[in-house]
Amino acid sequence: MITRNTKKTLDFLENLMGEKLTLGSFILAIRQGEELSQVEFAKLLEVSRQVLCDIEHGRRIISPKKAAEYAELLGYSKKQFVRLCLQDLIDRDHLGLIVEIENAA
C-alpha cells in the first residue's frame, strides 16, 4: 500500500475528482488505486461489503476512532483520515467550518 499522504496529494485528488474530498471518496480512491473489489477491501477493513459501500458513497459517517483504525490498517496517515472524518461531520451539519488537525504534544 502507498503510505505517503500529503496535503498536496489531497488537493490533487480533489482537483481530479472535481469535488471536495470526503473520507468516503478518499477510501474509494485508495481501493480503486489498489485495484481491489469492495469485498476484498472490506475484508482489509474488517467490515461488510455493504458497510464499505455506504462509507464510500457518504451514506455512513464513521467515528474519528474508526477512521484512525482504518488509516493504521491501510498504512496511511491517521491525521488525514481523522481530519477528513471530522470534516465530514462538520459538513453534514452545514457549519461552514474547516477542520485542521495537529499532533498532540
C-alpha to C-alpha distance for 77 and 35, rounded to whole angstroms: 20
Q: Residues of 21-36 as b/e, b for ≥16 C-beta within 10 angstroms?
A: bbbbbbbbebbeeeee
Q: Which three cell numbers stand for residue 61?
A: 459517517
The torsion angle over the Cα atoms of residues 77, 11, 38 and 67, rounded to 10 degrees, is 30
pTM beyond 0.85, yes or no: no
The superfamily in CATH containing domain 7-92 is lambda repressor-like DNA-binding domains (1.10.260.40)
Residue 95 has pLDDT above 90, yes or no: yes
Going from N- to C-terminal start, the domains of the chain cover 7-92
* 74 residue type, one letter: L
Per-residue pLDDT tens digits for 46-92: 999 999 999 999 999 999 999 999 999 999 999 999 999 999 999 99
Specify the pLDDT at position 20.
Answer: 83
Per-residue pLDDT tens digits for 12-46: 666 666 678 999 999 999 999 999 999 999 999 99
